[in-house]
Amino acid sequence: MGSNDSDPVIGISCYMQQAQWGVWDTEAALIPGDYVRMVAASGAIPVLLPPHGQAPAALDRVDGLLLAGGADVGSSEYGQDPHETTVSHPFRDSSEMMLLAAARRRRLPVLGICRGMQVINVAAGGTLIQHLPESLGHSDYQPAPGVYGEVTVTTEAGSRAREILGEATTAPCYHHQGIDRLGAGLRATGRSPEGLVETIEPDPAVDQTGDPADGGWLFAVQWHPEHDPDDDRVVRALVQAARRHATDRGTRRAPK
């Protein structure tokens, strides 16, 4: 899909780790192509934001932020010792916490996907269940390495989740951690059949240094919408919010 100068720019957080392609085996900044394709297909320009050399000013040049999936959030970020299955990248934690805070100060629309939802919750003072199979007795949310599970999500009436997804939706998931205690100013608006939090958004009823809505559009899901090319509702909602934000602040340029 082509783009033009009026399309909003979406910054996507990404990995920086060892990777292989062609004859190369070296450290790389990368993200699964599904993220890039869905952002572009939804009418925006995707730009990767690697966890190295970043500063808050990077967000002055984008219209929205997508916190992507990846390794576990470090348990030290929410005051716990790591579970034996927890695998974290502290440099990425630091980078994404910085990007999230900077985005909220700028009222940039923010979408969290899988790990991204957990980053948003932890940044707000929430905690995580470090290994769901121990607490739930099954591994349905991450059946095997590289194998997606499937989750049915029921949304709360009157929420952003209901507006975007309808009353219920089924989606691909891949995670072994989940939200335990919600962070301040957030509410759970979508859950799995066994009650696991699947979507979060700002809680307008809770004061968090003023109205939490002051931080701008925020939505997060525990599953991987980018993995289903036939269901772009979540990513398209971010792009639409970014387009509105760009128009409001006068950064959209007329097509040449």
Residues marked active site are found at 114, 224, 226
Compute the residue count for the chain.
Answer: 256
Count, in order, helices (H) and strands (E) of the chain.
6, 13
Alpha helices in the chain (DSSP H): 33-41, 90-105, 115-123, 132-136, 160-165, 233-249
Structure tokens that stand for 200 in this block = 């979060």
Helices (H), 106-232: 115-123, 132-136, 160-165
Question: In terms of Cα–Cα distance, which of 243, 244, 238, 242 is closest to 226?
Answer: 238
Q: Which of 125, 129, 124, 153 has the alpha carbon at shortest distance from 218?
A: 124
Q: Contact at 8 Å (CB) between 8 and 61?
A: no
Cβ–Cβ under 8 Å, residues 254 and 6: yes
